[in-house]
Amino acid sequence: IALDALDTVTLVTLIARASDQQITEVARSPRARDMVLREVFRRMSDHVRTEKATGSDGVVRWRIDCGEGVDYQRFQTVFASGACLTGTSMDQDPKVTVTLGLADFLRMAAGGIGFPRLVATRRLKFKGDIRYAIKLSGMFDIPKPRRR
């Protein structure tokens, strides 16, 4: 499947409907893991809420835990002048570093679980500017999955 050919609502729907076992299989496959994560991060810039991101310049470093025996998958999101760029280059100092598991990251990206709930259940950890980390949840307009 060419994920970049899917519209965002379809991608969000696929992620929202994925079982834990399916996400585990994605985590185990270097090719699938890379393809899914790169696509989710690529779309961040399309769904940033400019009015919320304006004045919130900074860098977020993401560390995504894909399970035993797999190195953290690392991405960087740079917010500047109301826009956001993402990539795997860790070339800027982060305001905050966010660490969470792949399943939680994908469910959060698909709008299935909120940032505050992940923090409250200690499934999301962050290091750095706590206020900036809290702002992240409102900086994106995440499309809703289709109903069955």
How would residue 64 be classed by pLDDT, with cut points 50, 70 and 90? very high
Average pLDDT (25-52) is 92
CA-based nearest residue to 61, from 83, 77, 45: 77
Chain position carrying tokens 């769904």: 47
pLDDT recorded at residue 1: 64
Higher pLDDT, 134 or 82: 82
Helix (H, G, I), strand (E, B) or coil at 24: helix
Average pLDDT (75-99) is 95
Beta sheet of 96-101, edge-to-edge order: 83-87, 73-80, 58-65, 96-101, 124-128
By percentage, how much of the chain surpasses pLDDT 70? 99
